A and B are shown apart, each in its own frame.
Chain A
């Protein structure tokens, strides 16, 4: 396999998923074993002895060679469809408007309104944050719930419940043989690097969340950074060190509290008609940290929610619980 070229690898990649030959082709010895006394076969032999029409002959030939023909067609069609799709997509790319062009179809009244009115209406100098959290806040609420439901379903699939887990004493890893109980505590390079990187990623994540109204970033990016920091911490120092500040209790409290706060804020937003809400909320000084009215609390809630979900995924995949 190794001395084959890349083209043959592509070829075998194309046939991956097609039927395996030995399962479906009849070897000649199989045909000899057909019992001629059963009524169906007796009917078959009478048909064979009588004058066979062209259609019947074609049918029998097809039943012998059909799988082989199907496999060949499958490979040819797979390669053909692949290359056709590549060609069509490349052709479409050639007709796309240039990046940032003034005559692009995306330049219409909607982004004009966003660019012109975002600072006045939402108080956020970062127009993207204004769009995500204020103009399209309901959409972002849906995304946060998608994350919540994903975490719930991963938990339902991968969570390990049992007396040992519940009482806080894990079974001996030598006994169970499960590699999820081996913790990589001995890696010196990883630990030294994590000592520098974990605080940095926490502080940078908080900075991105808090500055989401006035600079690029926001809840999702900052939350992803903080979640990556927590994961790095647990990879380098083990789960017991992480559970000192982020156990199952903290996870449930933080996550549900963030989601509830976010949903309540958006409920208020929708109740006020989702238009002109900021007449009732102090917008703050545009460009400052406390600005953008409801965008800052929404960013904080989304950030902690995303961080919790990230760590929850990792912990459930690795050891089956938080």
Chain B
């Protein structure tokens, strides 16, 4: 195992622990995106480029987007909602 792979694997472990420890849902999704990105690089080093493409597109892209859409639907992203409300108030004035 080269130093590069060791660094990637260590980063994976750090990501996995911090995802479960983080309180903010938005932060944990972004950490999960980073996890998927590192995972796709690891697939490349394991000589599975097709899996790397799929991991980057599905794991880092589409899954996180679906999570974001769900968070927005259940109004868990507070800052943006507050911003929208402010804009509405400005509009009324």
Q: Which residues does A use to contact B, with CB under 8 Å? A: 1, 6, 9-10, 13, 99, 128, 174, 179-180, 182, 208, 216-218, 220-221, 224-225, 227-228, 231, 235, 310, 313-314, 317-318
Contact = CB atoms under 8 A, between A and B. Distances in A.
Given A182-B84, A224-B58, A314 B69 contact: yes
Interface string B61-80: 11001100110110100000
A224 B54 contact: yes
B57 A225 contact: yes
Interface of B is mostly: helix
Contacts of A180: 72-73
Given A13-B21, A217-B50, A228 B57 contact: yes
B30 interface: no
Contacts of B49: 216-217
Contact of B62 (A216, A227, A318): A227
Contacts of A225: 53, 57
Nearest to A178: B73
B88 to A, nearest CB: 8
Interface string B8-28: 000000000000110100000
Residue among B46, B53, B54, B57 facing the most chain A CB atoms (10 A cut-off): B57
Interface of B: 20-21, 23, 46, 48-51, 53-54, 57-58, 61-62, 65-66, 69-70, 72-73, 75, 81, 84, 88
A312 to B, nearest CB: 11
B72 A179 contact: yes
A13 B81 CA distance: 27
Contacts of B57: 221, 224-225, 227-228
Nearest to A318: B69
A5 to B, nearest CB: 10
Contact of A216 (B50, B61, B75): B50
Nearest to A204: B53
B65 A231 contact: yes
A242 to B, nearest CB: 14
B62 A313 contact: yes
A231 B50 contact: no
Given A224-B57, A228-B57, A317 B50 contact: no
A231 B60 CA distance: 13
Contacts of A179: 72-73, 75, 81, 84
A13 B62 contact: no
17 contacts: A9-B23, A99-B46, A174-B88, A180-B72, A182-B84, A208-B53, A216-B53, A220-B54, A221-B51, A221-B54, A225-B53, A228-B57, A231-B65, A314-B62, A314-B69, A317-B69, A317-B73
